[in-house]
Amino acid sequence: MQAFDGELGVAVARAQEGDEAAFAVAYRLVQPGLLGYLRGIVGDDAEDVASDAWLEIARDLGRFKGDGAGFRGWTATIARHRALDHLRRQKVRPRATALENDLLELPGVHDTHDQALESLSTTQALALVARLPRDQAEAVLLRVVVGLDGPAAARVLGKRPGAVRTATHRGLKRLAQLLRTEGVTEDGARTLGESG
């Protein structure tokens, strides 16, 4: 499904044999998607959760069976478990607290589409995603950021493919709506950005 699933599959197979360089390749291919997904769930602690996840991934690498796309789904599942554990430990710390300040910097309405997206930081973008309901946020992140297909995303989330499809659709629609409405902010916000 993704551009480098073939390379990823080869790298994983070699890493299972003990090839360290192959493991590094697999890491680079997978980590960005995992990080983006984790940011949407746990926010700022994404790197810590990702580290925990990679510990488990490295430890259980021998158990994995599958191709590159399967590896993405497998690692996403592990990452999700770690994220849920993290959330439980944190006792429902609100994801968006550290991120809300950045919402003031959202671009104004007369920015073009691309300009608006450019001036958005990752954190701001994820702040928008954080405002989705959790199941929609997860579905959207898994489908778009991690790059899983429908059945794989359903398996990671433990839901039926139809439910995941619905959640993805609704999440994207709501995200688009948020983008449109959040674009209408005070000009002062843009000034801040320009002067920064």
Partner 1 sequence: MNGSGGSRRGHGSDGRHGDSQGRAMPSGRAESEMGEPRHGGAGQDGRHALNDAPAPDPAAAPAPADAPDPAPAPADAPDPAPETRTPPGLPDVGLTAADASSVDLLLAVAVRVRAEVDSAGEARALAAFRAAREQGPRAARTRRRDDWRPNPRRRVQRSVRTTLAVLLSSLTLGGVAFAAIGSATRDDDAGPGRGERDGRTGTSRGAPAAPGPSGTQGAGSTTGDRPASARDTEAHCRAYEEKAEGRGRALDATAWRRLADAAGGTQKVAAYCAARLGDADDAGDREQGAGESAGKQDGTVRSTGPDAGRRPDGAGAAAGSATGKPDWAGEPTAQGTPDQTDRQGRTDQGDQADQGSRADQGGRAEQPKGADGSGRVDGADRTPDTK
Site for partner 1 in 69-88 (CB under 8 A): 69-71, 73-74, 77
Q: Which of residues 101-120 bind partner 1 (CB under 8 A)?
A: 101-102, 105, 113-114, 117-120
15 binds partner 1 (CB under 8 A): yes
194 binds partner 1 (CB under 8 A): yes
Task: Work out which of 10, 13, 31, 163 binds partner 1, going by CB under 8 A.
Answer: 31
**Least CB distance from residue 39 to partner 1, whole Å?**
7
Closest listed residue to residue 186, CA positions, set 66, 73, 93, 103:
103
Task: Work out which of 41, 42, 57, 157 binds partner 1, going by CB under 8 A.
Answer: 57
Contacts of 160 (CB under 8 A, 6+ apart): 154
Residue 158: exposure state from Cβ atoms within 10 A (0-12, 13-18, ≥19):
exposed
Closest listed residue to residue 139, CA positions, set 104, 115, 164, 103:
164
Task: Work out which of 41, 79, 87, 99 binds partner 1, going by CB under 8 A.
Answer: 99
- Nearer to partner 1 by Cβ, of 33 and 108: the residue is 33
Task: Work out which of 10, 13, 14, 64 binds partner 1, going by CB under 8 A.
Answer: 64
Integer-rounded Cα radius of gyration of the chain? 18
Closest listed residue to residue 176, CA positions, set 151, 140, 122, 134:
140
32 binds partner 1 (CB under 8 A): yes
60 binds partner 1 (CB under 8 A): yes
Contacts of 39 (CB under 8 A, 6+ apart): 46, 122, 126
Q: Which of residues 115-154 bind partner 1 (CB under 8 A)?
A: 117-126, 128-129, 140-141, 143-145, 147-152
- Nearer to partner 1 by Cβ, of 87 and 142: the residue is 142
33 binds partner 1 (CB under 8 A): yes
- Nearer to partner 1 by Cβ, of 90 and 122: the residue is 122
Residues that contact partner 1, how many (by CB under 8 A): 88
Dist CA 123 CA 98 (whole Å): 9
Helix (H) / strand (E) containing 161: helix 161-182
SS3 63: helix
